[in-house]
Structure 1
Amino acid sequence: MNDVAELTERIWRSDAASMLGALSRRLGDFDRAEEALSEAIAEALKRWPGEGVPSSPTGWLVTTGWRKAIDRLRRDVVGQEKAVRAAAEPPPEPGSDDRLAMIFACCHPDLPEPAQVALTLYAAGGLTTAEIAAAFLVPVPTMSQRLSRAKRLLRERGIGFEPPRSHEYADRLPAVLSVVYLVFNEGYLSSGDSAQRQELAREGVELARQLADSLPREPEVAGLAALLELQHARVAARFDAQGRIVVLEQQDRRLWDGPTIQRAVLRLREAVRLGQPGPYQTRAGIAAMHAVARSFAETDWVGVRAMYDRLYALDPSPVVLLNRAVATRYAIGPAPALGEVDALEDQLSSYHLWHAARADLLAALDRTDEALTSAKRALELASNPAERELMARRVADLAG
């Protein structure tokens, strides 16, 4: 029984989006699809231990869920006519199009961003309500209400479960990629009480991979997948045994996941060959330059700085210029880098990493008192516990 329960859980994690997408598309109702699939999983837990696992567990679950849905429609006076029509159709066969349709439905721009994120994790990522609640540090009833509202909005606004048509991708894809990136970043360095939430970061990587598999001709999707893979490949080296941040310069690169880095670099190269540059590909290119360098000192900082110039042309953000200034320090020197950072004061003076970068540059120029002032301000503004601990260490070093 335990083996079957573990199997159904793995299937749900990997194929929730395609199964729910297939049933939702045919039923036109996410709630009915979810209910039918839940009953199918309960049926599997009863039957598979004795009868054996079918050759296509996912197909079995969708077929059983389809039949359960028809039975419910027959018992529903309003749904009887729909049941007759549905019974005449063969059970749906879940596929990549259904997974894609579900992810796009969850990230529909008509839904508020918190609902998009929660629904994506639930319906496309296969997380339970309790797991999503724990990840975002909210009570289970609160997350349950959030999910219920999101599903109700899908129904009330008539958001369908068909894959977007080719001309719709330009409008819809950025929101999808933004949600997946947000999921990953929330896990990579949490905004809550814990330093990181690896389960969220893993879900972000997996969602990006699923999208890349479903949309092989969309280079920005591949760029996002490569970016998240490259960042997640360093997870074992980013924190020490006490949960403290280890900065890139001090990370043990032997702990990095080499095979994942190689696959991500290959994915990125194939995306770049399509000749449609974008910000995710460019960010992935920067991450790749760090990932393939044998050491911090051997990083191609001139190349990294040039990549930030490309990124700024695509995404003119002051944070991009701040990161470029960090590259300037190692490509040219701390004095010109400090000039670049100071030029961003009006835009980033309330951003803790602006003060942190300024503290590092002032310290490199032996302007210790000013560096200490900037480090203290970075500590005041930082919210993540690991970042606060890092800045507290920096303040102590400068004060000592």
Structure 2
Amino acid sequence: MPRPNHWWNAVIVDDEWRMIDACLASSSNPKRALYSSLSGPSADLWWFLARPTEICWTHVPEHHDQQHIVPPVAYDTLLNLPCACPAYFKNGLELVDFNTSLTRIEDLEMVHIMFNVPSDVEIAAEVEARAFTKDNDGDLFESGDIVKKKALAQAEWFNGVKRYTVKALLPGDEGQGVLKVYAGKRGLMQSIKDIPHPLAFTLPIIHTGENPPYEFVTRHPTPHAQRHDIYVVQPQCQQLALNNTFVFAIRQHPSSLSGSAQSALTPASNPGSTSPVPFARPSSAMSVNASSASGSSASGTVAGKKPAKLAIQTPGGKILRLMRKEDRKGISVGSRTPDEEVSDGGTWETIIKCSEKGIWRGLVLADRTARWCVFAEWTCVG
């Protein structure tokens, strides 16, 4: 049992237990920035009258009866929960099949977590690690700098519920780092340069073995194309090899179940088909068969709504349309295997031989104007 290092109050309001942490809510607390996104002299009201089942993610009482949870939860379970901030509960996030083994990876494995969100919530994620440098004797020591690396966060829909999949790696051979997941209202992110959302939860990453350089595909927010959630199935790697043929596969789904901009989050049924073990890094999805890209437009509907038009733009500016994949039985495209859960959306794909060096872009047509919005970028290198 860990030593106690913090104090808070438990009160009864309307015959229900509630927790008050006036210390953490105060702007004078030097550690408030670790648990709150507020700045300035205002108090963080979430820490007043918090539910016992929510505050237990960060506050573990010394005595079981002070949890005020029936039945009490074991210490090991509480200490292995992610460190959840108020944004986690305010935005209604729900972890799916979480297991602590997912954050302990070896060699070419990667962190792979999933969680459900309401339809009007968007996610951003990054990994932070302490940088190391060598002294004159060749010994490693912490330089005091923080190294950051973007994680791949994409949304899909399963059984009418929006689900985010986050894939993350450490920046280098630091051995350990922290995965930070940010959550907020959909449409606020304008670029990948800045994350406007508050921190929702964090997870420790522990890596053993070699960690060769690897970058995920760059995903851009599309504030002018909000009607559909887009998931890049493949290639999920950043770099593409020159004069090689790749299958570009994109999955899309309407961003809301109804005509309104917001729909309620319903509990998702997961039959346990997702394995709680680390996943291998996504391959480059290179195909052995070369084929020219088709220029026909996307057709068909997804969940009764007109799908968004998708395309790939070459470094030279040529636009290659993606076609709907008719055969969705099994969904064996990319990293998904036939026995895994099938998403609600449709898949659009094309086969392209990358014969040009430079930036290849994924495009989606804007909601209200006849212009393309960039949602993904790959780099073709020789």
TM-score of the aligned structures, taking structure 1 as reference length: 0.26
Higher strand share: 2
TM-score, normalized by length of structure 2? 0.27
Name which one, 1 or 2, has greater alpha-carbon Rg.
1
Q: Which has the higher contact order (CA 8 A, sep 6+)?
A: 2
Kindly indicate which of the two structures has a greater share of residues assigned to helix.
Answer: 1
